[in-house]
Amino acid sequence: MKKILFFLALLFAPAFMFSQNIINFDINKWKSITVTDSLILEYAGSSNITVLTPTSTGNVDTLETADITDLLIEYSGGMCYVSTPGTQTIGTGGTFERLNEGAIAYTASHLVNFTHSDGRLTYTGTTTKHFHVEGHVNIEGDETAQLVQIRLAKDGTTIAGTEMQHDYTAVDTDAVIAFCWLIDLATNEYLEVFGTSDTNGDTFEVHNLQLIVGH
């Protein structure tokens, strides 16, 4: 059922918005309009809105007043990356570890409703949202032959479906291992990148890592 959203007028001229486009117009010149999705009439002087839900016969089924902030779709997102490369040592082959050992250090940028600490991006928004997540890890193998795997982790638990891997067949060879995922985050839930190798005591060099989250 379609909703027609009216912002109560106090100041300034109205704006007619479809999706992200805003068109100023004189509402007094309009005789009729067909709404196929949703219509928002905005006046900058008030945060109040009146929500009308029409019936199939054109009558008004519900009428309520609410605050516009409840309807705004606010962007949330951010990124972090390895600003100081370093060596990761895997204690137990096949066991995923957070990629933050030794000299490895991170820097964050473009944080909106997120905080950062040592490669961990924590969501601080109040509304649970679905996020697009991308990770890219530039790893140099230290073993003659080793299988390196990476995963996205939520609240310290790795997500098997995000696992990507690379088989190294010589020492000092580089590869970029990447993943892409969709995930929901509630307040204070966090994301990190974990990695592992196939043999106890294996090491590899983390030259760069980029973790990007967006809504």
* Digit-coded pLDDT (tens) for 156-205: 999 999 999 999 999 999 999 999 999 999 999 999 999 999 999 999 99
pLDDT in tens, 21-73: 445 555 555 556 555 445 554 444 555 555 556 666 666 555 555 555 544 56
Q: Residue 86 has which token pair?
A: 């370093």
- In the prediction, which pLDDT does 55 show? 66
| Local confidence band at 12 (pLDDT 50, 70, 90 cut-offs) | very low
Query: % helix / strand / coil in the chain, to the nearest 5?
Result: 5, 55, 40
Q: What is the pLDDT of residue 74?
A: 80
| Average confidence score pLDDT of the chain | 81
pLDDT for residue 17: 44
User: How many alpha carbons lie under 13 Å from residue 165 in its C-beta half-sphere?
Assistant: 14
Q: Compare 69 and 134 and report the one with higher pLDDT.
A: 134
Domain layout of the chain by residue ranges: 3-70, 77-214
What is the pLDDT, as a whole number, of residue 113? 97
Residue of 184 and 9 predicted with greater confidence: 184
- The b/e string for 168-206 (b: 16+ C-beta within 10 A; e otherwise) is beeeeeeeebebebebebeeeebbbbbbbbbeeebbbbb
Residue in 87, 95, 85 with CA at minimum distance from that of residue 197: 95
Share of the chain above pLDDT 70, in %: 66
Q: pLDDT, tens digit, for every residue of 141-169?
A: 999 999 999 999 999 999 999 999 999 99
77-214: CATH topology: Jelly Rolls (2.60.120)
18, pLDDT greater than 50: no
Whether the Cβ atoms of residue 116 and residue 143 lie closer than 8 Å to each other: no
d(CA 22, CA 20): 7
Q: Which residue has the higher pLDDT, 215 or 7?
A: 215
Tell me how far apart the alpha carbons of residues 60 and 193 are, in angstroms, rounded to a whole number: 51
Q: Is 124 left (phi over 0), alpha (psi -120 to 50) or beta?
A: alpha
**More reliable by pLDDT, 101 or 13:** 101
The whole model's pTM is what? Answer: 0.69
